[in-house]
Amino acid sequence: MEIQSHPGIPIVFRHARVVLEDSIIEDGAVAIAGGIIADVGETSQVSTQGAVVINANGTMLIPGLVDTHNDGVEREVNPRPRVGFSRPFAIANYARRAVAAGVTTSFHAVTFGNMVRNTRSVDEAVAITDAIREASTTGGIDHQ
């Protein structure tokens, strides 16, 4: 399903099987406003006023996945030996792909150790965690 982007206009997915932490809403809806999940509930209870409405036709929808152990940021910064990207660019790229997959919160596992075989070091780990902290204030996903 291709969804047209309408910056600033909310999107409501209706008639989805919405999977929650402890239940499934068989005829559910999820509203997204400003890139954030604004409402989740029965289709009849979620407002569509001013929104682009998408009929999910019973498709399973899992809003707000939480990645509880992510090793991806270090790979984004240093994808190969002696190859590195700026930390802000790498973290933004990770966040873009995570959001596209439905992840809204990511707990980053960063290696705090000096490793001869690659560029990982305690100093680099501190720099990466500082960049993650900075990225958490700029939107996208909730970096932890």
pLDDT in tens, 36-89: 889 999 999 999 999 999 999 999 999 888 889 988 888 899 888 778 899 999
Tell me phi and psi for residue 33, to 5 degrees.
-135, 125
Please check whether residue 53 lies inside any domain of the structure: yes
Full domain range(s) for residue 75: 66-143
Can you give the pLDDT at residue 43?
98
Q: Does residue 86 share a domain with residue 26?
A: no
Separation of alpha carbons 91 and 73, rounded Å: 6
Q: Are residues 81 and 56 in the same domain?
A: no
pLDDT, position 139 = 62
The pLDDT score that the predictor gives to residue 101 is 82
Q: How many domains does the chain have?
A: 2
Tokens 């305690």 correspond to: 122
Q: 126 and 78, same structural domain?
A: yes
The two three-digit tokens of residue 131, written as one number: 């960049």
Nearest to 89 by CA among 36, 137, 128: 128
Instruction: Flag whether 5 is in a domain.
Output: no
Q: Clarify whether residues 77 and 32 are in a common domain.
A: no
Confidence at residue 58, expressed as pLDDT on a 0 to 100 scale: 96
- 54: domain CATH number is 2.30.40.10
